[in-house]
Structure formats: structure tokens, C-alpha cells
């Protein structure tokens, strides 16, 4: 061990002697001690010099610095710190990542069965790790991320977008509740009365029996699940809704109308075909600027619908002068409430309810909202004070000047189609219309713009994009996407972009592809309205993909928004 073996470490007796020498040299030694310089001359001098030294004085002609502290001895040269060795957890995470990447490549190559196997291997690699493995927490976090990513790919049907007409909607949570009657817990009466008296609210509160009965229901197992589910999801849009309500001069407690209507689900649909967080009927939405096109429905846009709902509620309050009647009119329509008032002569919600002048759903709608407001403002007393709110939805926006396939955006950003649809719930087709303001994850607009630049403007609704990887060639990329090198070369001006850059792939998306045929041109029969058979030509996908127009890329306009209002 080199230096460590040659060095002599002084004993305790040597240290004591060194102390005496040091004290003698500095004039602090005891008078009854005798200095033995010859002993220390041989210790400090190299052997050759020690033998040649004659007089004792010469041994200390240039005395060395002495120290009685062991820590003052010259530090031994330290070894370089070793390179950290990857842990077993790191190794497993790396293997799982490799399997996941292999699955994504298989999807690009049109091999969903192989992709499924790779995804299963990725999950199994982490799932089967020993329970006592160091770094288990990091491994479990990565496992959750992989499961979520694979679930989103499953939602996209392993890369095959669902048919446009198969949009996934959710049922409004209170549809089956507002027609029901719930018992009243007598022990709640006094508690609710005191809470109403002590609670600060911009919306008037009430402790009538109907309100107490819904508090009793929301305290039950089923009701609590409905209440907490909506409150947790409210985190996605809570700040945005509160901001819009404040801008329109409305009580912030009206946010619970959205919870009663949809549980904050943008794609909720009622049994009356009302849609979105605020459950607008089509005609009412049109009155407040919520438009529908073959590809979009603004009723499912959270921010647009919130603005429309706030303005509608403002108009209802201006008309009735009472928040309970305005809330009732939001549910059943202003005409319904007007008729009830005219029939009974009472412009009071509770009196209309007592006289059964309102639909039963509407009669329970207002008490249910008041119950949720009272419980939320006294959350600790109802055991709902520690809610794990979902994070606020944040995004950047890019206005698309030409029709663009959502799969193109997903490939450019390396995100799933379902994630992008979650950010854009108003989009009900796979292709956005021209002028659509697309929401994308924060900070990804530059990456998307770079990808769009390589695709001709009039082909963004059908072509794909590929980020070039090390070792890629036209032949390799063509094989992956099921096309030919000549087609790829023509689409990319005969030069494959550098690694990390985007290449255009003139191949349609899975689910959009025409049925392949063997012949370049083939005829099928199509029955006309008059019952006569008509021959129509069909082309292969390869033949159609060889038409590569060299048109100038259209521009885009960028905006930045945050759904949370920050």
C-alpha cells in the first residue's frame, strides 16, 4: 500500500518526548527535565544524514516544525472518489424503460401484438422487484408512471384512434339522485342551524329540512363518494372558475352548480343531452356563444363554458332578483320558473317547492347545492377537510391555421392522443378544423411548431412525423412506417434530417388507412340511389402516398394560457 506502509506513526511515548522538546525550544520546558537531542536527531533526519552528523547542534541547525497534535501531521494523499455504481433499482428502471421504448417502436411499425408484449414486460420488470429492494420508492413511482402511460396508449387503442363518432362521454353524477327523497337525521338540525349562522357566504344559506336531508345523504357512503369525487376533480378547474365568477360579479359558491351538474367532468352528458361541466343544452349554449361544428363542441370547453354559465347566471339573477330562483331557472329554464310564479303568485323558491310547482329534480337541485356549500365551508366537521385535489390543468395554446390530425401533434410531442384530448375536450374528431386553438402541455409549443414546419400545410390532416434517431436511414424509417424509401426521400427533399430533427412521413394514421389491395388499381361496385351498380377505382396506399406537393408551410399563431387562472 505504498505510502501507508512506509510511514511510521509515533507512539504515545514519542509524542510525550516531542512535547518536551517543543517546550524546551520555546522556553516553556520544566527545569528538572533533561533534553536528549541525539534521540530525536535520528528520528527526524534521513538515515544517511543521521549517521554523518557529528555535533549535536547540527541536528537542529534548521529545526523542523514540531507539533504535539496528531491531526497536524501532513495529510496523506486521498484516493479519488469512486464513480457511483448504479443501484439494483436503477438497473431495473433502465430495463423497464428499454422495454417501454421497444413497445412504442413496435407501435410505429404497426405491430400492436408485439407492442403489448413489450409493455407487459416493462411493467413486470418493476412489479416483480423484491419488496426490500433499496430505492423501492423510486421504483414504485416509475411503475406508476409506466402504468399510466400504457393506460393512455390503451385508451388510444394501441395507436389506433377510435372512430370519430365514438366520443367517450360520462354520465352526469346527480342524474339519478335529484328525483329521490332522503331521510332527515334529527341530530343534524341543530348542528346545521348553527353552521349556517356562523358561516360566511356570498350565497344565502338555509337550513330547511330539504337541505338537511341532502347533508344526511352526502354524509352516507354513496353520497360521500359522489361529493368527494367532484371536490377532488374540482382542483383541475377551481381557480379558473372562481376567477371567471369574480370577473362576472357572482358569488364564488356558485361553483357548486358545476359540481351538481357534472362533477367537474368536461364530457359529462345528461339524460337530456346537456353537455359539459355546466351542462348546456345546445340551443342555450348557442345563445351564449358556445358553437358546435362537425369537429368541435364548445359546451365541452371548460373555460368557454364557464364564461357562458357565469353570464347566463348573471342574466337569470337580473331577471328574478333572487339567487334561489336563478339557480332553479338554470336547472329547468327561466320559462319554467316564470310559469310557476305566474300560476301560484309566489316568487319564492321554498313556497314554489312546497306547492309542487316545480319539477321534482329542480325542487331538489337547489337544496343539494346548498348542502354541498354548507359541508364544504365546514369541512372539518364532516370529515372532508383533507381532500387531495387534482392538480390544476395548465397548458399553452397554438392556433392551427390548417386542419391538423391530433395524431401528428401527439407524435411531435411524444405524448398520447388521450392526453391531448383531455386538454382539448371540445374536440370530437381526430382532425382539428382550421383556426382551432389547440391546447398542448406547457412549454411544448416550440417543439410542435418545429414538427409542423416539415409537413406541407395541406397534408397535416393525413401525414405523420418522425423524430430522427441515431442510425436512421430512409430504408429503416420506411420499413417502420410501411412505406418505401423513395416516398420518404421525396417528402424530405432527398435528405434525411439530422438526429433529433423531424422528418415527414407521407403515411396516413392507423384507423385512417384505406384497406390495402394487391393491385394498383381495382374496381368495386357501389350501388347508386337508383339501384344501379357503378364501378369506382381504388388505389393502393402506396400509390396515393407518392403525391407529394411542394407547397409553402402555413404560419401559426401562438398564445399562452393557464386554465387555473394564474
How far is 241 from 301, CA to CA, in rounded Å? Answer: 12
Alpha-carbon distances of 335 from 179, 367, 369, 469, rounded to whole Å: 21, 21, 21, 63
* Topology agreement, domain 170-382 and domain 466-505: no
Contact 294, 429 (CB under 8 A): yes
pLDDT in tens, the chain (566 residues): 444 444 444 444 444 444 444 444 444 433 344 344 444 334 333 444 444 444 444 444 454 454 444 444 455 555 555 666 678 888 888 888 888 888 877 776 667 778 888 888 888 788 777 877 887 778 777 887 777 677 666 655 444 444 344 455 566 666 666 666 677 777 788 899 999 999 999 999 999 999 999 999 999 888 898 899 899 999 999 999 999 999 999 999 999 999 999 999 999 888 778 899 999 999 999 999 999 999 999 999 999 999 999 999 999 999 999 999 999 999 999 999 999 999 999 999 999 999 999 999 999 999 999 999 999 999 999 999 888 899 999 999 999 999 999 999 999 999 989 899 999 999 999 999 999 999 999 999 999 999 999 999 999 999 999 999 999 999 999 998 889 999 999 999 999 999 999 999 999 876 554 433 333 333 333 333 333 333 333 333 333 333 333 333 344 444 444 343 33
- Pull the grid cell for residue 301: 370547453
In this structure, what C-alpha cell is assigned to residue 211?
337541505
Answer whether 450's CB lies under 8 Å from 512's CB: no
Indicate the class that CATH gives domain 170-382.
mainly alpha
Pairwise CA distance, residues 122 & 147, whole Å: 9
**Residue 298 contacts residue 289 (beta carbons within 8 Å):** yes
Q: Which fold has domain 466-505?
A: Membrane-bound Lytic Murein Transglycosylase D; Chain A (3.10.350)
d(CA 95, CA 88): 11
Give residue limits of the domains in the chain.
Answer: 10-72, 88-155, 170-382, 394-465+506-562, 466-505
Q: Look at residue 177 in the predicted model and tell me its pLDDT.
A: 67
Beta strands (DSSP E) in 340-436 are 394-399, 404-405, 431-432
Q: Which CATH class is domain 88-155?
A: mainly alpha
At 374, list the grid cell.
354548507
What value does the CA radius of gyration of the chain take, rounded to a whole number of Å? Answer: 38
Amino acid at each position: 500500500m505504498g505510502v501507508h506502509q512506509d510511514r511510521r506513526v509515533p507512539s504515545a511515548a514519542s509524542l510525550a518526548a516531542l512535547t518536551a522538546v517543543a517546550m524546551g525550544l520555546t522556553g516553556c520546558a520544566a527545569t528538572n527535565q533533561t533534553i536528549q537531542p541525539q534521540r530525536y536527531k535520528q528520528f527526524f533526519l534521513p538515515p544517511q544524514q543521521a549517521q554523518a552528523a557529528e555535533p549535536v547542534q547540527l541536528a537542529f541547525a534548521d529545526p523542523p516544525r514540531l507539533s504535539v497534535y496528531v491531526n497536524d501531521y501532513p495529510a496523506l494523499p486521498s484516493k479519488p472518489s469512486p464513480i457511483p455504481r448504479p443501484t439494483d433499482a436503477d438497473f431495473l428502471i433502465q430495463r423497464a424503460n428499454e422495454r417501454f421504448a421497444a413497445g412504442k417502436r413496435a407501435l410505429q411499425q404497426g405491430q400492436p401484438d408485439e407492442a403489448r408484449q413489450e409493455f407487459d414486460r416493462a411493467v413486470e420488470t418493476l412489479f416483480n422487484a423484491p419488496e426490500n429492494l433499496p430505492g423501492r420508492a423510486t421504483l414504485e413511482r416509475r411503475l406508476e408512471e409506466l402504468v399510466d402511460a400504457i393506460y393512455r396508449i390503451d385508451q388510444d387503442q394501441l395507436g389506433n384512434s377510435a372512430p370519430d363518432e365514438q366520443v367517450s362521454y360520462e354520465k352526469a353524477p346527480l342524474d339519478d339522485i335529484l328525483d329521490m327523497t332522503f331521510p332527515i337525521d334529527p341530530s343534524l338540525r341543530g348542528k346545521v342551524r348553527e353552521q349556517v349562522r356562523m358561516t360566511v357566504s356570498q350565497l344565502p344559506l338555509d337550513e330547511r329540512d330539504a337541505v338537511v336531508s341532502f347533508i344526511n345523504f352526502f354524509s352516507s357512503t354513496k353520497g360521500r363518494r359522489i361529493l368527494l369525487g367532484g371536490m377532488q376533480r374540482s382542483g383541475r378547474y377551481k381557480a379558473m372558475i372562481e376567477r371567471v365568477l369574480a370577473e362576472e360579479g357572482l358569488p364564488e359558491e356558485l361553483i357548486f352548480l358545476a359540481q351538481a351538474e357534472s362533477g367537474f367532468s368536461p364530457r359529462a352528458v345528461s339524460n337530456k343531452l346537456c353537455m359539459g361541466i355546466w351542462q348546456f343544452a345546445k340551443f342555450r349554449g348557442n345563445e351564449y356563444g358556445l358553437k358546435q361544428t362537425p369537429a368541435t363542441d364548445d359546451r365541452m370547453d371548460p373555460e368557454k363554458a364557464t364564461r357562458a354559465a357565469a353570464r347566463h347566471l348573471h342574466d337569470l339573477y337580473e331577471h328574478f332578483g333572487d339567487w334561489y330562483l336563478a339557480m332553479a331557472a338554470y336547472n329547468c329554464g327561466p320559462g319554467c320558473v316564470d310559469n310557476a310564479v305566474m300560476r301560484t303568485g309566489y316568487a319564492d323558491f321554498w313556497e314554489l317547492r312546497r306547492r309542487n310547482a316545480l319539477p321534482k329534480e329542480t325542487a331538489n337541485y337547489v337544496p343539494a347545492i346548498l348542502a354541498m356549500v354548507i359541508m364544504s365551508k365546514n369541512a372539518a366537521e364532516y370529515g372532508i377537510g383533507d381532500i387531495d385535489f387534482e392538480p390544476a390543468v395548465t397548458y399553452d395554446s397554438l392556433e392551427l391555421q390548417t386542419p391538423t390530425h391530433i395524431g401528428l401533434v401527439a407524435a411531435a410531442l411524444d405524448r398520447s392522443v388521450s392526453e391531448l384530448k383531455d386538454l382539448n375536450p371540445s374536440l370530437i374528431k381526430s382532425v382539428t378544423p382550421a383556426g382551432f386553438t389547440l391546447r398542448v402541455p406547457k412549454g411544448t409549443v416550440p417543439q410542435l411548431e418545429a414538427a409542423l414546419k416539415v409537413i406541407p400545410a395541406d397534408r397535416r390532416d393525413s401525414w405523420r412525423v418522425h423524430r430522427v434517431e441515431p442510425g436512421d436511414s430512409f430504408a429503416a424509417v420506411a420499413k417502420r412506417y410501411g412505406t418505401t424509401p423513395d416516398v420518404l426521400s421525396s417528402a424530405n427533399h432527398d435528405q434525411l434530417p439530422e438526429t433529433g430533427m423531424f422528418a415527414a412521413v407521407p403515411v396516413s394514421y392507423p384507423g385512417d388507412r384505406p384497406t390495402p389491395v394487391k393491385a394498383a388499381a381495382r374496381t368495386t361496385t357501389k350501388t347508386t340511389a337508383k339501384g344501379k351498380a357503378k364501378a369506382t377505382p381504388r388505389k393502393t396506399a402506396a400509390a396515393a402516398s407518392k403525391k407529394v406537393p411542394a407547397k409553402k408551410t402555413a404560419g401559426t399563431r401562438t398564445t399562452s394560457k393557464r386554465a387555473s387562472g394564474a
